[in-house]
Amino acid sequence: MESKLKPWELVAIPLLLALLNLQNLASAVPQVPSYFIFGDSISDSGNNNKLAKLAKVNYPPYGIDFPEGPTGRYSNGRTVHDFIDYMLPFAESNEKNIFNGVNYASGATGIRDETGQHRIKNHKTIISRITSLMRNDSATKSLLSQCIYSIQIGSNGYLNNYFMSELYDTRLYSQCGYATLLVQQLSDQLKVIDIHFSTTQANAPPT
């Protein structure tokens, strides 16, 4: 469902993967508390298995390089995130593992409401679970401010939305107007993620 790689990506992606691998060998001790992943099929680690979606990958040859076979990844093997660490999908998160991080990504997800708002809702759910487990708002904010947040999204706004004008009213937008709309909506969504820890500063006592 994703577009073909551009020449620079063919060079940049293997290079990035090689660097990440070297880093893994150098140090296995986590350098951040948690890793939160937002994205589409490129980042999905199995959320689509539990969702009523047409874009399924629960059959071979997906997952042929995993001993257990298909995992819900749109791939034969690891995603780019797996080279950093294996983050469980939101659907499999529980009180024992949420402190490692959560993967909210799912195939066919995009920026617009039509292609998925649930990742923000799911992150809010996780934040409130962490907050109630920690029972200390400032410690929770401090923890969340030290995590890695990976956001990989955009192509489905076109593949599953803009170019499907028989299903959606996307003809209303010019190409430029639509791009501006996507940027605006993504920007608003990033603020929702950010708000959970940026208030640490806002609450600081006046000097």
Q: Which long-range contacts (CB under 8 A, 24 or more apart) does 163-172 make?
A: 168/114
Report the C-alpha gap between 100 and 126 in whole angstroms: 12
Sheet (strand 148-152) strand order: 101-103, 35-39, 148-152
**Per-residue x/- marks for ligand NAG, 74-103, CB under 6 A?**
------------------------------
138 binds ligand NAG (CB under 6 A): yes
The span of 19-27, 74-82, 138-146, 155-163 binding ligand NAG (CB under 6 A) equals: 138-146
Report the C-alpha gap between 137 and 29 in whole angstroms: 26
133 binds ligand NAG (CB under 6 A): no
Q: Which is nearer to ligand NAG, 176 or 202 (CB)?
A: 202
Q: Which is nearer to ligand NAG, 97 or 138 (CB)?
A: 138
State how far the alpha carbon of 121 is from the alpha carbons of 7, 86, 87, 126, 189, in Å: 36, 22, 18, 9, 10
139 binds ligand NAG (CB under 6 A): yes
Chain positions contacting ligand NAG, by CB under 6 A: 136, 138-139, 142
